[in-house]
Amino acid sequence: MALFFVWSYAVKMRGGYLRFQAQYLRRIRLPDPKTIPKALAKSIKAAFRKRDFATLDALALEAYSLAELPHFDFVDTRR
């Protein structure tokens, strides 16, 4: 989700890389923590600790109440 927010606002560099700057990161909006079920929050924490990005992506969609993200092109440097 965060990458999608940054992709939406950031300058796209040559080769599909995103330019991460504070002005773009400040525009990321998080769901209200009170609206996230405790079981979901616990799953997010566990996936984060394991650095399981595929699971984190799926859990983030659930936290934002989305079925999927629109397609967007970027170079995934998380792996």
Q: How many domains does the chain have?
A: 2
Q: Give the C-alpha separation, 40 to 26, whole Å.
A: 24
Q: pLDDT at position 1, please? A: 78
Please check whether residues 36 and 14 belong to one and the same domain.
Answer: no
Could you report the per-residue pLDDT of 34-70, keeping only the tens digit for each? 999 999 999 999 999 999 988 998 999 999 998 987 7
Q: Are 60 and 1 in contact (CB under 8 A)?
A: yes
Q: Which long-range contacts (CB under 8 A, 24 or more apart) does 35-38 make?
A: 36/63
Q: Distance between CA atoms of 36 and 8, rounded to whole angstroms?
A: 24
Q: What is the CA radius of gyration of the chain?
A: 13
Supply the pTM of this predicted model.
Answer: 0.69
pLDDT tens figures, 22-36 = 888 888 888 888 999
Q: Is the pLDDT of residue 77 over 70?
A: no
The one-letter amino acid at 38: K
Range of the domain at 44: 31-67
The predicted structure's pLDDT at residue 74: 67
Question: Are 44 and 54 in the same domain?
Answer: yes
Tell whether 59 and 41 lie within a shared domain.
yes
